[in-house]
Amino acid sequence: MEAILGQIEAYRKEIEAFEIGNAAQLEEYRIKYLGTKGIVKALFGEMRNVPTERKKEFGQVLNDFKQFAEGRYESARDTAGSSPAASASSIDLSLPGDPLPAGSRHPISLVRNRIIGIFQRLGFAVADGPEVEDDWHNFTALNLPENHPARDMQDTFYISQNPDWLLRTHTSNVQIREMEKGKLPIRIICPGRVYRNETISARAHCFFHQVEGLYIDEHVSFADLKQTLYFFVQELYGKDVKVRFRPSYFPFTEPSAEMDVSCFICGGPGCRVCKQTGWVEILGCGMVHPTVLENCGIDPAKYTGYAFGMGIERITMLQYGINDLRLFSENDVRFLRQFTGAV
């Protein structure tokens, strides 16, 4: 009896030292101790050789040992079973862990979120729409009928499967879709990716990102447009920023304008960013053309509205002094990790 108790003690030490570092060793362990011809089973077989008055004591020792052997198996299975390399005994818990580098937001996302945040505070809702669009929502409804020369302002990717489909050239398609729903008033901004068939260079890419905005209600005026956009750039560049509106042309707005802000780098005298003019162009805007309202089933005699659109890349480049558009889509972490904070 004493001999067998000593033997069990020795097995315990053996189990403690048993190296289970991979699935094969785990199986070896299982067969040796817990298998049908294993040590635990064999020890239970010894029961009949134990004197009756010590059977109870021996039974307890055996059960204890069995639990111990199974416990070792279960904890080793959690590590060794799933990763062949890891072994409970080969892990040095005192070593420092592998650092997981924290990611950072893409600069386009940072600026987009900032723009969205400003307009949301003014009560604009974010609206979304398809990037593969039909001709109606990207062009015709926006007062750009077929063969209209203004279509050349936006070189377009067409889908060869169906000549009516294209990659949207602006997010104005979302505005059309929103107006077609017929629920007024509308106060939305439409952030998203847009596509234009341009030769890739430092200043042009085949896709970029926009935020466009639309407000339609009774009595909306150009004064509302100016005040809203003025508030927007003050939030973006600070209270001292000045704005100016230059007459422009878009088929879907009348009157139309380009909005410039006073150069936030030099503050006026002229520098490289503003090309020595003191002004930086940041968006296009105007009052929604009555034909566009009619195309969407809205009565232009009752409702008016304004729209605006800006390129996020352009604002981001100006903001951070980035001089090559391609950097945004090359995914070079040395570039991307520089933009960790808010704009």
Instruction: Give the nearer residue to ligand PHE in terms of CB position, either 5 or 158.
Output: 158
Which residue, judged by CB position, is nearest to ligand PHE in the bound state? 309
220: left (phi over 0), alpha (psi -120 to 50) or beta: beta
- Member of 208, 308, 328, 339 binding ligand PHE (CB under 6 A): 308
* Residue 143 near ligand PHE by CB under 6 A: no
Size of the site for ligand PHE (CB under 6 A): 11
- HSE-up of residue 7 (Cα within 13 Å, Cβ side): 11
* Residue 319 near ligand PHE by CB under 6 A: no
* Residue 172 near ligand PHE by CB under 6 A: yes
DSSP lists the bridge partners of residue 304 as 217
C-alpha dist (Å) from residue 113 to 33, 116, 120, 232, 304: 60, 5, 10, 13, 28
* Residue 170 near ligand PHE by CB under 6 A: yes
Q: Do the beta carbons of residue 200 and residue 207 sit within 8 Å?
A: no
* Residue 285 near ligand PHE by CB under 6 A: yes
Instruction: Give the nearer residue to ligand PHE in terms of CB position, either 8 or 116.
Output: 116
- Nearest approach, Cβ of residue 156 and ligand PHE (Å): 12
- Nearest approach, Cβ of residue 182 and ligand PHE (Å): 21
Prior bond of 255 cis (ω within 30°): yes
Considering only 37-45, 46-54, 62-70, 279-287, which stretch makes contact with ligand PHE by CB under 6 A?
279-287
DSSP lists the bridge partners of residue 195 as 207
Q: Do the beta carbons of residue 26 and residue 72 sit within 8 Å?
A: no
- Chain centroid, CA 2 distance in Å: 68
- Measure the CA dihedral 267/271/274/276, to 10°: 110
- Nearest approach, Cβ of residue 253 and ligand PHE (Å): 5
Query: What's the one-letter identity of residue 156?
Result: T
- Member of 65, 250, 279, 328 binding ligand PHE (CB under 6 A): 250
Query: Shortest CA distance to 152 belongs to which of 197, 104, 88?
Result: 197
* Residue 187 near ligand PHE by CB under 6 A: no
- Member of 21, 191, 284, 305 binding ligand PHE (CB under 6 A): 284
* Residue 307 near ligand PHE by CB under 6 A: yes
With b meaning 16 or more CB within 10 Å and e meaning fewer, what string describes 293-308? Answer: bebbebeeeebbbbbb
- Nearest approach, Cβ of residue 333 and ligand PHE (Å): 31
Three-state DSSP class for 311?
A: strand
* Residue 21 near ligand PHE by CB under 6 A: no
* Residue 124 near ligand PHE by CB under 6 A: no
* Residue 212 near ligand PHE by CB under 6 A: yes
Considering only 16-24, 132-140, 266-274, 281-289, which stretch makes contact with ligand PHE by CB under 6 A?
281-289
* Residue 192 near ligand PHE by CB under 6 A: no
